[in-house]
Amino acid sequence: MKIKPARRQIRLAICSNAGGSGKTTLATHLAYAIGKRGYKVTLIELDHNGSLCIFGGLPPTPPEKSLAAVLKKDFQGNYPLIPLWTEHVSTVTAIQGGGALEESYAELYAYDRRHYTLQDRLEDYPLDSDLIIMDTPASLEPMGLLALAACTHVLAPIKPEWKDSGSLASLVDWYYTKVRELRLKPRPQILGFVPSRVDLQEGTHRDILGLDKKGNQRQDIALEQTLSYQIQALDIHCFPQIRESSYYLRASGAGLPLHVYRPSCPFTQDFEPIVKQTIELITA
């Protein structure tokens, strides 16, 4: 398949200040879908929980072959890249996180340019990738700050639950505050928010999104009260929803993206608006 050539590297930070919002699901499925188009993708896991082991079908990694090694002062550009889903795609690699990152936290705070460590690595030793996806933990500091300083764009999954939607303003405030404090120039752009893990059989989800069980706009809920409207009122793009499915659990159990585990599943199409927008950035 002929693809439009990449013209610049995009570094996409997947950020959320709420656990269980679907960050790793989003990161891995975007990595596969864009890699399958022929673009070179590197997925960097900044989470010490090491969820990529499950989603990528990988064994736990020792510290010297994890992101912890990249963050060491003596790093010299030998990225511990590991190919993902090699039977299905040839352009996707990953740098695993995991428990070794817990020791990195204390080390980072001893560095003069602590929050710019990942940015410095990527500038000093460029990765041959069209897209770098950074999967961050729910605790935004310190790893969220490393991703923010290193990225060109931010994408935020948000689950339509009251506690998650209530954190929307605090995440946006964190973004603007840290961009200012870190004096990031050029400023990373917010690619958008995306409602994720959406279950339209769940009444709360329907109320927050203003949808009925078929995904149609409800007339008994004012548009101004919906999550998507509140996001766009902040002058931030809101992508269409990514629906919840039990197939994700089964696919992750097999260490595969849903696109491979069940390619006929219509839920794989939920990622397409983000895939399209990201490729437009890469090829612009």
The per-residue pLDDT for range 98-116, each reduced to its tens digit, is: 888 988 888 888 898 999 9
**Residue 46, helix vs strand vs coil:** coil
Cβ proximity of 41 and 129 under 8 Å: yes
Range of the domain at 157: 10-272
Instruction: Give domain status of residue 282, yes or no.
Output: no
Q: Where are the beta strands (DSSP E) in 77-201?
A: 82-83, 92-95, 131-135, 153-158, 189-195
pLDDT score for 198: 96
| Cα–Cα distance list, 225 to 102, 159, 207, 251 (Å) | 40, 16, 9, 34
Average per-residue pLDDT in the chain? 94
Cβ proximity of 239 and 274 under 8 Å: yes
Mean pLDDT along residues 194-199: 96
> Which residues are within 8 A (CB) of 268 and not within 5 positions of it... i.e. 6 or more apart?
29, 33, 258, 259, 262
Look at the chain and report how many structural domains it folds into.
1
Cβ proximity of 23 and 157 under 8 Å: yes
What one-character DSSP code corresponds to residue 182? H
* 193 vs 207: CA distance, rounded Å: 18
Instruction: Give domain status of residue 263, yes or no.
Output: yes
pLDDT at residue 279 tops 70: yes
For residue 22, give the CATH number of its domain. Answer: 3.40.50.300
Cβ proximity of 241 and 18 under 8 Å: no
Instruction: Give domain status of residue 284, yes or no.
Output: no
| pTM, two decimal places | 0.96
Instruction: Give domain status of residue 61, yes or no.
Output: yes
Residue range 103-158, pLDDT digits in tens: 888 888 889 899 999 999 999 999 999 999 999 998 888 899 999 999 999 999 99
Instruction: Give domain status of residue 3, yes or no.
Output: no
Instruction: Give domain status of residue 4, yes or no.
Output: no
Cβ atoms within 10 Å, residue 115: 22
Instruction: Give domain status of residue 280, yes or no.
Output: no
Residue range 41-77, pLDDT digits in tens: 999 999 988 889 999 999 989 999 999 999 999 999 9
pLDDT at residue 35 tops 90: yes
Cβ atoms within 10 Å, residue 276: 11
* 262 vs 265: CA distance, rounded Å: 6
Instruction: Give domain status of residue 53, yes or no.
Output: yes
